[in-house]
Chains A and B, each alone.
Chain A
């Protein structure tokens, strides 16, 4: 026998799903919302997203090179972080902002913790939080009128998101005028379709819902986190004191983007089934509390980041029940 036989560990066949395919599926699911962002906010939205993707990928490659690791841009995870970060930025921010956010997300939140699989918080959200604390003026005021606008975007930094108006109507003029404006722009239809001010990729609940359901159907996103998040938030939005109704709360802000695409990040959410319910419900409760009582108009990103930190604890206390295991208290 000339060539030796190869001895490999069982199983000798593997499923089709790999990391790269999964990341591509998520990017595909985000594509409708991406295209829509260009439609409502103009080419500037595309420019911001591309800046963000490119700087994420460069940061990843440089870091992996410096750390002496294999460069794994082809797994698509850096590109996905770039898209998600851009989706979380107001469309009127200066073009260097996504670059800074990307570098922080990839270098500090991801690679320094060991790269893909080892980061304990969602890199895109970490990038957003970093930008929020460092340049709050851009991050909370650079909104664009959602009708398509000039490439520079400078002449239209005048709008505000529905949630900003709801939080502090007095900042924007005579309250009765503002409430009227809020009513005009925030018809449920507009909110659902996405023709409202907001972060680049968060405005269209409809398109995010389509993408999210696609991911649930193909089995990449776990329904437990999404359901736990939306239902717990919805219940609290109904029973807690707030000036807006339930559909307004559900369809405005980054709730759908967060619930379908950010909270469900594999690496930073629990692995157990029970844990995923707890994680989703925790996100929902925190989001409602921040939105209704907190200082920020929006609470999705901080809620998810906070729950990310709890993930190891949740996993530890929600171990799966092993087949044939007796219920607690029963001696076998």
Chain B
């Protein structure tokens, strides 16, 4: 099958960044299991999982230690074999601190029973497939960590005709998805086909940016439909991707399913494939470790719950004293405050820098750069002023809740105003006020 051009000219706004994907030619290395893991029960959008184990319990790799609770939640599994030392509050990369299961390794690599055997998945029904995916704790691995079984269960009045597989990886520096597509394309495709079967979607399209043509060629060789998109940030954002590929516009406040689409990340496809084929729950993920503060950059397969410091040590340690450690890419990544923060399901990269990204905030000069680059058509300059003056309800009228926090506005701002920071604050205040 040939590689097709996208159907539209793309999405509005966006920026062209220096990609700095220095690790794209480095093969994925498997990092050995650490001595100790800290596995948070809240790693996904929605309710935290309910702990199933107690202090002193023995667990194996893949033992379920947390059960998903409520309609939007995901299960949590042990990523090493050993003993539960404690269940306690521990540093968390997104929440600051949260309840974690601390497991100390028994130095064996024993898998829980039933895991890692080969299963026949051809004859499984949609419901069986969904249950397996739910049971394996699969969440979106692009970063937001939305429970995958929920995304795969749209209500019956929202038929899905397009399943888009997101291999854009538009964040600079990150190469985890790229390496996965190059090294395990069959698993990705198999996983995508499972999703297609569950959703009953007529079309399945693999989407990559044109800086990953090698991955596009692999998919094309496997006779899959591929779209090569411009390398433009944030091409991998769901609504922008749907607009660029299908020229469909997700309505304000709506979801991709409102226009008959579901978008799944390539890493999620691969994780689902492993869950269905081997009953392997989500206990590890590919992480790009890079930046001028770490000795060797690597693409690593890391167990969930591994503290950052262990990962850095495996990469040769720090170069000098690190100033900033960022989970994710440079545009949307989150700065970490402790070296024992664990890798979680949504951690796509670890960026270590020798210099801190601190900028002095100047006055807004109304240049409108932020408006020109906003892929959501927002007016960040107006919203930030409203938020700064605590006019939260007015900021909602200006669409603060539509912000996808991509960072284009703050990147473009000549006065270096931390616009995303203000908009995130505005969002949280609007939510708080609306709950009252």
Contact = CB atoms under 8 A, between A and B. Distances in A.
Interface in A100-149: 114-118
Most A CB within 10 A of own CB, among B324, B336, B357, B424: B357
Nearest to B325: A5
B383 to A, nearest CB: 11
B399 to A, nearest CB: 5
A271 B358 contact: no
Contacts of B167: none
Contacts of B243: 323
A171 interface: no
A241 interface: no
Given A11-B410, A332-B251, A324 B332 contact: no
In order of increasing CB-CB distance, the 3 nearest A-B pairs are: A11-B407, A117-B363, A9-B421
A319 to B, nearest CB: 7
Interface of A: 1-15, 17-19, 21-22, 75, 114-118, 222, 266-269, 271-273, 315, 319-326, 332
Nearest to B326: A12
B6 interface: no
A323 B10 CA distance: 13
Interface residues of B, number: 68
A323 B252 contact: yes
Contacts of B376: 322-323
Nearest to B374: A320
A7 B338 CA distance: 10
Nearest to A316: B382
Contacts of A272: 368, 371, 379
B366 A271 contact: yes
Contacts of B364: 117
A183 B68 CA distance: 87
Given A12-B335, A271-B379, A324-B251, A6 B358 contact: yes
A268 B326 CA distance: 38
B365 A266 contact: yes
B412 A15 contact: yes
Interface in B401-436: 402, 405, 407, 410-416, 418, 420-421, 424
B321 to A, nearest CB: 5
Given A8-B324, A12-B330, A267 B377 contact: no
Given A10-B407, A271-B368, A325-B251, 16 more contacts: A5-B322, A5-B338, A8-B324, A8-B356, A12-B324, A13-B357, A15-B15, A15-B411, A17-B412, A115-B363, A269-B366, A273-B371, A315-B382, A320-B374, A321-B377, A323-B402
Nearest to B233: A11
15 contacts: A6-B323, A9-B335, A9-B418, A10-B333, A11-B330, A12-B326, A12-B333, A14-B359, A15-B15, A266-B368, A320-B378, A320-B379, A322-B377, A324-B253, A325-B252
Contacts of B358: 6, 8
B398 A319 contact: yes
DSSP majority for the B interface? loop
A332 B252 contact: yes
Nearest to B407: A11
A9 to B, nearest CB: 4
Contacts of A11: 330-332, 357, 407, 410-411, 420
Contacts of A7: 324, 335-337
B81 interface: no
Nearest to A72: B362
B242 to A, nearest CB: 10
B367 A5 contact: no
Contacts of A21: 414
B315 interface: no
B254 A324 contact: yes
B170 to A, nearest CB: 13
B316 to A, nearest CB: 18
Nearest to A311: B366
B191 interface: no
B77 interface: no
B324 A19 contact: no
A75 B357 CA distance: 21
B99 interface: no
A24 B279 CA distance: 62
Contact of B239 (A115, A266, A319, A324): A324
Nearest to A2: B321
Contacts of B379: 271-272, 319-320
A10 B405 contact: yes
B335 A117 contact: no
Interface in B340-377: 351, 353, 356-359, 362-369, 371, 374-377
Nearest to B357: A12
A14 B357 contact: yes
B17 interface: yes
A15 B414 CA distance: 8
B249 interface: yes
A121 to B, nearest CB: 13
B427 to A, nearest CB: 13
Nearest to A4: B337
B416 to A, nearest CB: 6
B75 interface: no
Contacts of B366: 117, 266-269, 271
B322 A18 contact: no
A13 B324 CA distance: 12
Nearest to A18: B414
- Candidate in A10, A13, A320 with the most chain B CB atoms within 10 angstroms: A10
B334 interface: yes
Contacts of A315: 382
A15 B330 CA distance: 12
A322 B339 contact: no
A94 to B, nearest CB: 33
B252 A14 contact: no
B250 interface: yes
A6 B377 contact: no
